[in-house]
Structure 1
Amino acid sequence: MKNIICISLFFLLLPLMLLSQNKAAIEIQNNSDLERNEAVVAINWQTILSHYPQIDTSNFVVINAETKKQIPYQLEHKGLPKIQNLLIQVNVKAKTTLSLFIQKGKPNPVEVKTYARYVPERKDDFAWENDKIAFRTYGKAIENTNEDAYGFDVWVKRTDKMVINERYKLGNYHKDNGNGMDYYHVGHTLGAGNMAPFIKDTIRYSANYHQWKLLDNGPLRSTFQLIYDTWNAGGIKVKAVKTISLDAGSQLSRVENKYTFDDNKSMPVVVGIIKRPESGVILLEEQKGIMGYWEPTAKEDGTTGVGSILTTPVKNMFVNKEQILGITEVKNNEPIVYYTGASWDKAGEIVNSVQWFEYLNHFSQELKNPLLVSVR
C-alpha cells in the first residue's frame, strides 16, 4: 500500500517537477529611497542554470510578471567561452521589488545601446559609446605626432543611436552634423577622468595603449581591455591593464585598472579632469569620492559636464593650473575600480551644473545601495 501511495504522489508531483525545470523566477529588490531607471543588472548564469537547467540560450525570454512584457537582455561572457551573467535592463521604483520570470520563447530583437571598437583607420583609436554619450582613447600610432593625447576624450551626442562608425566614416566629427560632435580637448592631460601614477607629487603618464581585447560588445554592456607597455613612473617600473565597460543608459564608464610594479606594496595614483582657462563650476567632495566639473560654455557648441567617482579612500582632491585631481592608492597587482564620464547640455537631459552634480551624487548613492537579486 505504501508503495502504491508513493508512486501515486510521484505522478501527481511530476508535472510540477517538470515545470520547475522549465522556468526560473527572479526578484530584484530596491531597498533604497532611490529610483532606479534604466539600470543594467547582472544575474549570475550558474545560479540561473541551477534553477533552470534545461534553458536553451537561443530560445528564452525574460518576462515582467506584472506587465507580461519582455525585458531586453544580453548574455555577458567577459571574454570567456562560457556565459558569465545574464544582463537585463530594468526600472525599479524606490522601496519596491520587481518580479520577473524566465521561460522558453522567442526573444524580441534588442536595440543596440552600447558599442565599442578598435579604430585602426584613425591611428589606433579605441572608441566606445552608449545611448547617451561616447568616448575614445589613443593608441601607439598617434604617439610622437602633434595629435598625441594622454587622457580620455569625450564625443558628445544628442541621439540614442550609435554614432562612432558614422563619424569616423565622415571624418569631420569636429563639426556637429546633427547628432553631436567632438569638441573636447584632451592634450597632455588625463582628459575626462583617466588615471596615472602620482609619484613625488608628479603625474607619471604612460605611453598610449599597445594592445586591446574586446570582451563583450552590447547590446546592453560593452567591455574591453587596454594593455600598456612597461614605463618608468618616477623611478618605479609600472605595467597596467585597464578594463573599461559602459552600460546602456549611463553617463559614466566603469574603469578597473590593475597596476603591476616593482618593490612597493602600494602606489599613489591620481584621477584627473582637464580644466579650461575660462571659468567653470567645480565640485570636490573628498568624503564621497566625487569630482565634478561643469565646463565653461563653448559658444555655439554648448556645455560639457565631466565627472569621476572614486570607490577607494581619497587622500586629497585639489585643482591646479591644468587639471582637477583626486589622489588615491593602489596595491600591486590588485584591481582598483572607479567611474568616469560626461554629459552634454544639448542632449536635453542634463542642462546645468546643478543637474550634473545631482546626477553624480545619485550615481554614487546607487553604488552604495546596489539592487538585490534572487533567483528561484
Structure 2
Amino acid sequence: MRLPLTAIALTLATPATAQVPPGIDAAWLTPLPRPAIVTDRLPTREEAVRMAEYVSAAQIASMASKPIPVSTGGALDHMSSNWVSAAYYVGAARLARVSEDPRTLRFLTAVAEHYNYSVRGAKSGATMLNADDIAIGDLYAELYSRRRQEGTILPLRQRLDWQVPHLARSTETPALIWWWCDALFMAPPVLARMSAITRDPKYLAAADKEWRRTARLLWSPQHRLFFRDARFLDRKEANGQPIFWSRGNGWVVGGLARWLEAMPADYVGRAYYTDLFRTLMGRIGELQRADGLWPASLLAPDAYPEAETSGSAFFVYGMAWGINHGLLDRATYLPRVLKGWAALNRQVTPDGQLGAAQKTGDQPVHTRPEETGPYANGAYILAALEIADLNGPVQTLPQAEPGPDTPARIAATTPQPPAPATVVGAAEQARRAEEMAAVAKLSYEPATLGRAPEVAPMAPPPPAEQRRRAVARFAPDRLDDLLWENDLVAHRIYGPALEAKEPPSGSGIDAWAKRVRWPFMDRQLKFPNYHTDRGEGLDFYDVGRTRGAGGLGIWYQNKLWTSRNFSTYRIAQTGGDVARFSVDYRPWPVDVVRKVWETREFSLPLGTHFTQMRSTLQSDNTDPLIVGIGIGKVGAAGTRPTIIRDQAKGRMIFWGADDADHGRMGLAVLVDPKMVAGFAEDAENYLILLRVTPGQPFTYYTGSAWDRGGDVPDQAAWEAMVAKERPVF
C-alpha cells in the first residue's frame, strides 16, 4: 500500500538521523523493498511501475550516498551533469509523471538546483556544441513544463540559441557536429522539446538538418543499422562482419522515440523518421538472442556471448514504445518485448540496479554481471513505463508536454536548502523566519507587470478569433507603433513615443515574418522578446535607420533626406476584408534648400502580400522632387542579399540573406514605370527613384514574404509572385 503524497513528502523532508548530510533526504539513502518480478506474462501497469520505482530508488540511493564530484566530466556513478547521469534522469523524469512517490522528483529537482539549471562545455566552441552535454537539458525542459519557472530553462535555451546557427548551417562541412550515433539520443530530443515548449520551430528545424547529416554518414541501408562513428565504417569483427555496437544502436532507438514524441504530427519530413524507426526496429527484432537479450556486437554474437543490458534495455523500450504509438505491430513485437523484459529482470542486482551493463565507451567490450550504470537504469525505467502502457490503448503522437503541477505538489517535491549553521536556538530561528518573510514581501515580482514570460509559447487565439481578417491598430502599449496585417503579411511603422525614447528611429517600414492566417502581432508584442518565434511568426527584420520595406525620402545631391516617425494617424477601416489608415509626417529638411512634409494612405486587402500606399508630398516650393523609395540593406554580417531592378516594369525585388535562426525575407517595391527616374543606393538602402510633383498624389506598392510562412518557399517563388502582381496606379 502506498502512502499519501503528503505523508511521503513529510517523511522525505525529515532526516532520519543526524548523520544525513545537509541537503540529502533520508529516504534517498534507503532503497525500496524488492517487489515481485513478473516475467511469465505482461505485467499489470502497477507491477511495471513498481519495478521502475524500485530501480530508480536504487539509483538514487547510489548517487545520494556518494560525494558530488567537483568535475563531473568523468563521473561514472555519481550525481553529475554529464550524459552518464543524464540518461538516468530521462527515465526518472518520465517515472515522476506517473509515480505517487515524490522522492524521484525531489531528487531530480535537487540535481537541477545543484547545477543551477546549466549545461557543461563552456570552454570551447566544440564543447559548446557537444551533444553529450545537452542531454541534461531534458531534465530542465521537464521541470519547466511542470513548474513554469522561467529560470529552469533559460540557460538551456541560451545554449541552444547559440547552437542553432551551426546546426542549421547551409554550407556542408567536412566534420559533423553530431558525428557519433550516441548524439542522436543526447541532443535532438532536447531541441525538439524546446520547440514544443516555446512553439519556436527553429530548434527542431536546425536539429532536423544535423540529424539527417549524421544518418547519411552512419546509417547502413544494407545492414539496417547505425555505425557508431566514421571510424567503424570499414572495421570488421573476427567473423568478417561490420561492427555494429548494441548500445550505439540503442541510443538511436531511444533518441528516435523521444524525437518523435516532440515532433509535430504535420512536420514536413516526419515520415522519414517513422520509416527509419520501423526499419531499424525490424532489424533489431531479427537479432534478438534466444535468451531475450542482444549481443554487444550485433552481428558478432559469438564474440561477446555474455549478457549485456545497456543496449538491450533500449531495444525493449523501443519495441514497447513502437507498439504503444501504433508504429509497430503488437502481435509481432509483444512476444519479443516480454522475452526481453524477462531477460532484463534476470540481471537486476540484489541492490536494485540493472547489472550486466557495458561500461562507458564507444564500441563492444566484454561485460561482467555486477557492472551497472545510470544510463542502463534510465533505459530500464523507460522500458518499464512503456510496458506499463501496453495495458492501455494506442497513444497518439506527438506527446504533449506534462501539464503544470499544483502549488502543493511543487512544494512537496522541491527540496529547500537547510538554514545556515549559525541559525541555532529559538531566538535565531525566529529572526531567520522574519528575515525570510521580509525577503518575500519586499522583493520585486515581475509577474505584477502582467507581461508574458520570456519562454512561454504563443497560445492560439479562441476559435472565433482565428478567422482571416485585415486589421490596423494603433499600439500605445508598444510606444505608439501602428500595426497592420492581413492573412499573409504583417507590418508596422513607428510613432512619436518611440521617437522620443529611441532616437534616431524613423519612418522606415518594418516587415514581420508570419505563418498563421489570423492576426498575431498584438499577442506577439505582449512578450518581453517578440523577436522570438513562438509558432506564429516574429519580428526578425531589422529596420534600424534604413527605409526597411518601402519607406521613402527625398533624393538630393546624392543623399536621402528622410522624415522622423509619423506624428498623427487615422484608422478608416479594420477587422474585415481590408485595412485602411493614413498618417502624417511633420516637415523635414532637404539640405538647406527646402522643407517637405507628407500624408500617406495605406490599404491592405486580404489575400495579397502587397500594401497599396498613396502618398501626397507637400513642400515650401513647387519645384519637382526626386523621391527615393527604399529597401533596407539588412542581413547578417558578411552576407549579401539579392536585389533585382527592373526600370521598364517599375519594380525592385529583394531576397534577403539567410538567417540561420529564422530564414529569409523577400521584399518588393512596385511603382508606376512612367514615373521612374532611375535607381540609386546609399550605405543603408537600395532605392528606386521617382519624379514627383509636390501636392500631386502618387501610388506605389510594397510587399513582403517569409520563406517559412508557408506560401513563398524560395526566391524563385517570390519573383514569380511579384511578376503576377497587377498594381493599379
Determine if the TM-score, normalized by the shorter chain, exceeds 0.5. yes
Of the three residues 498, 504, 522, the one matched with 1:142 is 498
Q: In the alignment, does 2:567 pair up with 1:214?
A: no
2:603 corresponds to which residue? 245
User: Which structure is higher in strand share?
Assistant: 1
1:32 corresponds to which residue? none
Of the three residues 460, 478, 499, the one matched with 1:122 is 478
> 1:199 & 1:344 partners in 2: Cα distance?
33
> 1:239 & 1:210 partners in 2: Cα distance?
11
1:253 maps to amino acid: T
1:273 corresponds to which residue? 631
2:618 maps to amino acid: T
2:615 maps to amino acid: N
Q: Alpha-carbon deviation of 1:343? A: 0.2
Contact 2:582–2:602 at 8 Å: present in 1 too?
A: yes
1:350 corresponds to which residue? 712
> 2:651 & 2:528 partners in 1: Cα distance?
35
Q: In the alignment, does 2:523 pair up with 1:166?
A: yes
Q: In the alignment, does 2:566 pair up with 1:202?
A: no
Of the three residues 313, 328, 351, the one matched with 2:690 is 328
1:7 corresponds to which residue? none
Partner SS, residue 708 of structure 2: helix
2:460 corresponds to which residue? none
Q: Alpha-carbon deviation of 1:145? A: 3.8
Partner SS, residue 497 of structure 2: helix
2:589 corresponds to which residue? 232
| Cα distance per residue 1:320-354 (max 9 Å; x no partner) | 44221100011111111000021000012111111
Question: 187-196 or 231-240: which moved more?
Answer: 231-240
Q: Alpha-carbon deviation of 1:216? A: 1.0
Partner SS, residue 524 of structure 2: helix
> 1:274 & 1:205 partners in 2: Cα distance?
13
2:699 corresponds to which residue? 337
| Cα distance per residue 1:17-72 (max 9 Å; x no partner) | xxxxxxxxxxxxxxxxxxxxxxxxxxxxxxxxxxxxxxxxxxxxxxxxxxxxxxxx
Q: Alpha-carbon deviation of 1:166? A: 0.8
Partner SS, residue 526 of structure 2: helix
How large is the RMSD of aligned CA atoms in angstroms? 1.9
> In structure 2, do the counterparts of structure 1 residues 231 and 320 end up closer, same or farther at CA, with 3 Å as the change threshold?
closer
1:192 maps to amino acid: A
Q: Alpha-carbon deviation of 1:242? A: 0.7
Contact 1:283–1:357 at 8 Å: present in 2 too?
A: no
Contact 1:157–1:344 at 8 Å: present in 2 too?
A: yes
> 1:221 & 1:233 partners in 2: Cα distance?
35
User: Which structure is higher in helix share?
Assistant: 2
Larger RCO of the pair (alpha carbons < 8 Å, separation 6+): 1
| Cα distance per residue 1:89-133 (max 9 Å; x no partner) | xxxxxxxxxxxxxxxxxxxx9944200111111111101000001
Q: Alpha-carbon deviation of 1:206? A: 0.7
| Cα distance per residue 1:337-376 (max 9 Å; x no partner) | 000021000012111111111111111xx236x9xxxxxx
> 1:218 & 1:268 partners in 2: Cα distance?
36
> 1:140 & 1:298 partners in 2: Cα distance?
31
Q: In the alignment, does 2:650 pair up with 1:289?
A: yes
Q: Alpha-carbon deviation of 1:171? A: 3.7
1:175 corresponds to which residue? 532
> In structure 2, do the counterparts of structure 1 residues 159 and 136 end up closer, same or farther at CA, with 3 Å as the change threshold?
same
Q: Alpha-carbon deviation of 1:306? A: 0.7
Where does structure 2 lack aligned partners over 5 or more consecutive residues?
1-464
Number of residue pairs the alignment of both structures matches? 259
2:315 corresponds to which residue? none
> 1:110 & 1:168 partners in 2: Cα distance?
18
Of the three residues 617, 628, 632, the one matched with 1:259 is 617
Partner SS, residue 361 of structure 1: helix
Contact 1:153–1:184 at 8 Å: present in 2 too?
A: yes
Contact 1:138–1:208 at 8 Å: present in 2 too?
A: yes
Contact 1:155–1:184 at 8 Å: present in 2 too?
A: yes
* 1:47-66 → structure 2 map (5 Å cutoff): none
Contact 2:546–2:633 at 8 Å: present in 1 too?
A: no
> 1:112 & 1:216 partners in 2: Cα distance?
15
> 1:230 & 1:323 partners in 2: Cα distance?
22
| Cα distance per residue 1:162-184 (max 9 Å; x no partner) | 10221122342100000110000
> In structure 2, do the counterparts of structure 1 residues 321 and 110 end up closer, same or farther at CA, with 3 Å as the change threshold?
closer
> In structure 2, do the counterparts of structure 1 residues 172 and 110 end up closer, same or farther at CA, with 3 Å as the change threshold?
closer
| Cα distance per residue 1:140-190 (max 9 Å; x no partner) | 111254462430001111010110221122342100000110000011110
Partner SS, residue 256 of structure 1: strand
* 1:93-112 → structure 2 map (5 Å cutoff): 111-112=467-468
Where does structure 1 lack aligned partners over 5 or more consecutive residues?
1-108, 371-376
Contact 1:150–1:187 at 8 Å: present in 2 too?
A: no
> 2:581 & 2:590 partners in 1: Cα distance?
24
| Cα distance per residue 1:296-335 (max 9 Å; x no partner) | 1100201110111012421112444422110001111111
TM-score (norm 1): 0.66
1:60 corresponds to which residue? none
1:190 maps to amino acid: R
Q: Alpha-carbon deviation of 1:266? A: 1.6
1:304 corresponds to which residue? 665
1:254 maps to amino acid: Q
Partner SS, residue 315 of structure 1: strand
1:201 maps to amino acid: N
Contact 2:507–2:566 at 8 Å: present in 1 too?
A: no
